[in-house]
Amino acid sequence: MKTFAADVLESIAQAKRGEFARVHTPANISIYKARGRPVGSFKDDSKQAVTVRYSPEVLAAFRATGAGWQTRMNDALKDWLSTHSPA
């Protein structure tokens, strides 16, 4: 962020002196596009966001297991599907 602020101040100073500001090339622009939060992975078995209602007892039991309870709930449902028909 310090570099950006310094660049802005330099651009303002150049404009006040009547000079041209730095020209951005496509290579420079691509550097700025690479910043920020990385894009999530694109796995074949991506998950879908849905709204489901569970009983308070089930939620309390899974939440009590700590961080990762949603993944454990997903694994439990997968395990159940391996031995039962979903219909």
Does the pTM surpass 0.85? The reply is: no
Secondary structure (DSSP) of 21-32: PPPPPHHHHHHH
* pLDDT per residue of the chain (87 residues) written in tens, 0 to 9: 778 888 888 888 887 887 776 677 777 777 766 666 777 666 666 788 899 999 999 999 999 999 999 999 999 999 999 999 877
Q: What pLDDT score was predicted for residue 43? A: 64
Residue 68 zone, left/alpha/beta (φ > 0; ψ -120 to 50; rest): left
Q: What pLDDT score was predicted for residue 19? A: 72
